Every structure is written in structure tokens, then in C-alpha cells.
Amino acid sequence: MRILRSLSEGKPHSHRDIVKLTGLKDGQISACLRRCWHKGSILRSEHPIRETNRVLKGRAGVRINLRSYYLYVRNAKGSPGDIEVGNARFVFYRQSLLGVRSRSKARMVFEYLKEHPDKAFFSKDIVDALTESGVRISDVMSNTRRYERQGLVYVRGYRTHDRQTPFKEGYLLTWIDSNLPREDAIAGAVKRTDTALEGRAATSPTIERVYRIRDMIFAATKTRDILAQSYIARELGCSDHELENAIRRTLQLYPDLKELKLFNNYRYFYHNSMSPEDLQAAIVMKENYIRIEKGRDNRIGHNWEAAVEWFVDKFTTGASFREQPHRTAGMDPRRITLHLIKSVGGRRFNAEIDRVWTVTPGLFSPPTTYVLECKWGLVRKRDVDDFLSVLRWSKDFGVDTPEGRQLKQGITGVFAGTAFKPDEKVLVSGQPISLGTYANRLNISLLKAADFNEKLHEHGSKRDLTIQKICNAAKNENEIREVLEAMWREPAEADKILTDVLRRNEKVYQFEKMLQEASKSPLQSPSVPTLT
């Protein structure tokens, strides 16, 4: 009677509303509603109501889920047929309405698997096949798990140490024939999933990378070679974090694979079946290659630094470059060594930056100090972050603040790269921003090779003349300054000047190419870039 009185106003109420109005327990309300619906004293909504439910979970925050429930209304007038209240239709009890939302969909999924006993399906494929029957992706696994617990369905996904995650198309499902011996039924189900997974990864991506890394290292060892980390990175095509995780797991799982570092920096790997003589020979070859390749890279990289310096000096009024004497002969005095109070990226006490200059706008204006970092190649977010960390933790340019280590007032970072990764997005407060916007927020200016090329073209040089070609051609930093100055004086003769430089330094290029080809192995090193 208390339930009927709560519905006496003629207003539909949910199970939860009736609990609040009557003060009875959930179980009592459920049993009474079912009996009253059977007798025709109340009517139930034909379809469930779905609404978003927000639940506060304390420190866990607010959880959002979808709540589904029915509404009930009292049949006060003794109507013999269904009635409508508002936008909802309320119906008398019928057997066909019981479990129409859950059990029929569960049965459809199970019968679909049973009707195809020789195949395995991804959950997404089952949704595509039964979408006309109202089956959605959320209906498949919620119902399939019940059949899995009963031993009627086999579910397969990526297996890791203590869990299983779905494939890209969802979990892989197949029927287990209960008429067969249990071992034969399971073996058949596994075989069907193996067939469905042919040509794709059957385990987690990390494990697949581990297998590939081991195979590559073993193959290199059989050719009496050691494998560079850079080669593994190019073959896998994954992120730096994924690569590092895969290498670490490989060395943990296979203790017969060994790691060594050349010049305390470049990582190489080999199998312990390699003889000591072959290992020593491979190490010598790789060391020679690193000296040659990095020597050429240093030449072009230093040329790029000098080119950036020349443009800064040319277009900045009142720029005063800082100089520092060095013990190493031939090292440019404008390259500055900073002292660090904390290790940054493997650098413990010192770090080099390429140029420092100060600009004083006026007599009463405070001077601004610019710190330059150059990179010959594609610049990524990690390069910008590493540069900023060096500045923050240096004695010269960093300072302790209540918010942590920051740059001193009047210090501006400048990062010059031949190109910046155009599609790299940085997440800041959950919002993706470009690398340029991210650098600006850190008070770091970005200079690109395209900016310098535009200056040359505006001054009268041909469009095919680029700063990249000039850096490749020049023998050293002094020569690139001379070449740029000559091209600026006579832009119409820029092509002839570059041709003369290429002809004059031809022996340098031939020597570099000869040494590189002599030390190149099939599993290591890219080809020399074209100079023309």
C-alpha cells in the first residue's frame, strides 16, 4: 500500500524515487513493484530511461556514468490498455518485455558465435554484423564475459605479465564446443584465434619489439657486427620512450645479449656468442666510423653555428658577442662553456652553448642577453627542453625562485635549427599546441634555415641558393663567414661563389666520402648527403 500511495499523484516515479518516498529497502521495493506490475495495479514504461549520472568519489574526483532505469505509474482508473504520460508510453506486464534489453542481446551475440563455430571474430566485427538488431559495442563484452565464466566462449587479447588488453579492433572471440573433450575444445578455439591473427601482432607491442630486437642483434652477430641503437630505432619506427622500454626489457629477458658504449655515448649491442677477436674488430670499425661521421657532422654543425652568428651580427644593432679562451686548439672563442650546478642530460659539471651576445637598446634601458643553441637537423620538443634545462641549471643564467629553478631576468634563449618538426604537438594543460608556441611560452625564440634563406633571396640571390648548401660546402667556420660576406656584397654572383667553394674543397669531400665508405657496414650509417 505504501508503494501505491507514493504513486497516487499520477506522476511517474523511478525505483530510486519510490525508495526515498517510502523508506523501504531496495529488495522490498523490487519485489513489490514486480507483483503490482503482474497484477496490473501499476504500469511500467515500455523503454528504459537513460541519463548521465555524476557521482562524487572524494579524492578520486567526479565519475560520470550512464544510468538506465524504468518509470512506474499507478493504474488508478483501471484502464484495460496501455497509457501515455508525457512522452513516455506505459504498458501492462507481458512476458516478452522481460529482459528484452539485456538477455536478448546476449543471446544474439552467443548464437552468432555458435552459428560460426569455425571462425573467430573481433568484438567490432560482431557489432558490425548485429548492428541492425540494436547490438552496440558496449553490449558485446559485458554479455560475453558471462559466457566466458561459464566456459562457453574463449576471449583473447594482448597478454602482458598480469593482464590482458584488447586489440585495435577489440577482443577476439570464438565459441567453445562443449560437446568435445575440454582440452580439444580449448585447443580448437586457440587455433581459430591464431588463424585470425595471422600477419599481425598476437602479443603486446612491447613484446613484439623485444622479439624483433633480439632477432636483429642475433643476425648482426652472425655477420660479425655489433648493432647500433640508432639502427634499431629506424627499424622499429617507435618513440624514444617505447624504444628505451623495449631495449631494457630485451636485456632483462635475454641475458645472452650484451650492451657496450663507445666513447661513453653511443650504444651498441651484440650476442655473447661473438668471439673476443671478432668483437674487438667490430669495435675498432665502429669507433673509426664514429670519428669519421661525427667529424663531418661537426664540420657542418660548426658551419651552421657560424652562419647563424653571421646573420645575428648582420641584422642586430649593437650586438656584443661574449668570448672565452679554450684549451682545445681551433675551438671558436665565441663558443661558451657553462658550469652546471646539477647534471643535465648526462652532462655532469659543464655544458657548451654556441653563442652569447648582449644588446643594450639605450642609455637608460636594461641590457638583454641572448643565448644561442644550434642544431643541424630536425629539432624536436626534447631538444628545446634540454636547452632550457641547461640554461636554468647553469651558474651564469639560472636562479632559484619560490617556483623552482628559472632563468634570470633579461636572459632570452634562441634555438636555431635547419627545421622544426612540423607535426609535433605539445600537450599543455590538456590542450595540444605547436612546438613554436610552446617555445614562445618558455621565452625561447626559434630561428629556422628558411628564415635565413628568405633574407638571402630578398637581397637578390637566386631561389635555389640555400644556407644548407653553403654550410655543406664550406670547409670551416672562417670560410663560411667569408662566403656569406662575399655573397651579400655581390648577390648576383652567389652561384659562382658557391661553385668556386665546391671546386676548392673537392678533396675534403672526397676524403670524407672515402673514409665513410671504407668503414660503412650493411647494418649501420646513412649515406653522405649530396652537396650540390
Average pLDDT of the segment spanning 61-67: 73
Has domain 2-97 been given CATH number 3.40.50.460?
no
Cβ atoms of residues 211 and 178 within 8 Å: no
User: What crossing angle do the helices spanning 494-504 and 506-519 adopt, rounded to 10°?
Assistant: 50
305, 300, 312, 316: which is closest to 472 by C-alpha? 300
**Per-residue pLDDT, 521:** 41
CA distance 486 to 488: 5
**Per-residue pLDDT, 457:** 92
**Per-residue pLDDT, 100:** 42
296, 197, 302, 214: which is closest to 252 by C-alpha? 214
For residue 494, the surrounding DSSP H or E stretch is: helix 494-504
CA distance 70 to 93: 13
**Per-residue pLDDT, 169:** 81
Distance of CA 142 to the CA centre of its chain: 30
Residue 230 has pLDDT above 80, yes or no: yes
Residue 487 has pLDDT above 90, yes or no: yes
Query: Which residue intervals of 132-266 are DSSP H helices?
Result: 137-149, 182-196, 205-222, 229-236, 240-253
| CATH number belonging to the domain at 103-196, selected among 2.60.40.10, 1.20.1260.10, 1.10.10.10, 3.90.420.10 | 1.10.10.10
CA distance 268 to 215: 15
User: Sorting pLDDT into bands at 50, 70 and 90, what band is 532?
Assistant: very low
Question: Which of 33-42, 99-108, 293-302, 367-376 is the most confident on average?
Answer: 367-376
Residue type (1 letter), 114? K
In 10 A of CB 83, how many CB atoms? 14
**Per-residue pLDDT, 290:** 73
> CA separation (Å) from 159 to 171, 206, 380, 433?
11, 11, 33, 35
Question: Which of 5-9, 296-300, 414-418, 430-434 is the most confident on average?
Answer: 414-418
User: Sorting pLDDT into bands at 50, 70 and 90, what band is 103?
Assistant: very low
| CATH number belonging to the domain at 316-448, selected among 1.10.390, 3.40.1350, 1.10.3470, 3.20.170 | 3.40.1350
CA distance 265 to 61: 45
CA distance 206 to 246: 6
Average pLDDT of the segment spanning 336-346: 86
Residue 527 has pLDDT above 50, yes or no: no
Q: Please name the fold of domain 205-274.
A: Arc Repressor Mutant, subunit A (1.10.10)
- Residue 92, CB-side half-sphere exposure with 13 Å CA sphere: 9
> CA separation (Å) from 252 to 159, 210, 247, 274?
18, 10, 9, 19
Residue type (1 letter), 217? I
**Per-residue pLDDT, 516:** 56
Cβ atoms of residues 323 and 334 within 8 Å: yes
More confident residue, 508 or 484: 484
User: Sorting pLDDT into bands at 50, 70 and 90, what band is 526?
Assistant: very low
pLDDT (tens digit per residue) in 75-96: 866 667 777 777 788 888 876 6
User: Sorting pLDDT into bands at 50, 70 and 90, what band is 262?
Assistant: confident
Mean pLDDT of the chain: 83
Q: % helix / strand / coil in the chain, to the nearest 5?
A: 45, 25, 30
**Per-residue pLDDT, 268:** 93
Longest dimension (CA), the chain: 107
Residue 100 has φ and ψ, to the nearest 5°, of -65, -25
CA distance 258 to 242: 19
Residues 6+ apart with CB under 8 A from 51: 66, 67
Instruction: Give me the percent of the chain exceeding a pLDDT of 70.
Output: 89
More confident residue, 251 or 40: 251
Residue type (1 letter), 250? T
- 274: which 3 cell numbers? 661473438
Tell me which DSSP letter residue 385 carries: H
pLDDT (tens digit per residue) in 318-331: 889 999 888 766 67
Average pLDDT of the segment spanning 223-232: 90
**Per-residue pLDDT, 522:** 38
Cβ atoms of residues 304 and 372 within 8 Å: no
Residue ranges of the chain assigned to CATH 3.40.1350: 316-448
Cβ atoms of residues 133 and 108 within 8 Å: yes
Tell me which DSSP letter residue 166 carries: -
Residue ranges of the chain assigned to CATH 1.10.10.10: 2-97, 103-196
Residue bearing cell 631494457: 248
**Per-residue pLDDT, 292:** 64
Residue bearing cell 671546386: 503
pLDDT (tens digit per residue) in 162-193: 677 787 788 889 989 888 898 888 999 988 98
Burial bucket for residue 190 (CB in 10 Å: 0-12, 13-18, 19+): middle
User: Sorting pLDDT into bands at 50, 70 and 90, what band is 531?
Assistant: very low
C-alpha dihedral over 63, 66, 68, 73, to 10 degrees? Answer: 70
**Per-residue pLDDT, 96:** 61
User: Sorting pLDDT into bands at 50, 70 and 90, what band is 520?
Assistant: very low
Residue 488 has pLDDT above 80, yes or no: yes
pLDDT (tens digit per residue) in 432-477: 888 888 888 888 999 999 999 999 999 999 999 999 999 988 988 8
**Per-residue pLDDT, 295:** 64
